[in-house]
Amino acid sequence: MIRISALQMQTAGANVDANLSRIERAAKQAAAAGASLLVTPELSLMSYGGGERMVDLAEPADGPAVSRLEEVARRSGIAIVAGFAEKAGSAVYNSAVYADGTTPPSVYRKAYLYGDYERALFTPEAPQSCLFTHQGITLGMLICYDVEFPENVRRLAVAGAELIVVPTATPAGASGTFIAEKMVPVRAFENQIFVAYVNNCGNDGDFEFAGRSIVAAPDGSALATAELSEALLTADVDPSAYDRSRSENTYLRDLL
């Protein structure tokens, strides 16, 4: 079993220092609550609404922003997942990084870019299975729109993921509410895994976010949820507690 925290976050615009400081405060709170992992939203380091400034702020995965995140993880004693704009050669990716301060970071690049805004800023990556182990639990990463394609979640589940972390920037509105409250629990249920869907909140540039972060369990229940404003959620991820659910809902075992 692991305890995780999810920071539903109002970013400080394209201000990496301020965003890192906010994440560090949450990391200390999460560690004090007994969590070993903190998940933050999509592009939480550079801010989703930063526009062209994100391209200017984009860094390699071994750049100063991720290095500082690693240092926050070391000081706080908690691993952190955060979204950032990743520079690789001439391309800029919408990426997420898992940093625990002791092992090389794991980086995932978003495959399915949403709308003209993202497509103008980022290069899509081919769908990939980013898997890593955190305190004995196998984790996978997706970013926002990726989770809305069921094959992405299924691929990770088949590969052995027990928990999928999903940094998110879902906009306010009926669709955003439906995704968080209906679709994400179904993704967890149909794959008998945990899904931590962690959204931005408030306003950022031209965007207003839906909030409504959720940690969903294999039986489709919500272990923790947020409303519209900033919140730090905490939930226990214990795969053994859902053995009965997996024995009754044998989707992965029955795949042809």
User: Which active-site residues does the annotation give?
Assistant: 42, 110, 144
Q: Cα dihedral sign for 6, 25, 57, 71?
A: negative
Nearest to 198 by CA among 71, 21, 30: 30
Q: Residue 137 contacts by C-beta under 8 Å, 6 or more apart in sequence? A: 2, 162, 163, 237, 239
Cβ atoms of 193 and 155 closer than 8 Å: no
CA-to-CA distance for 79 and 70, rounded, in angstroms?
8
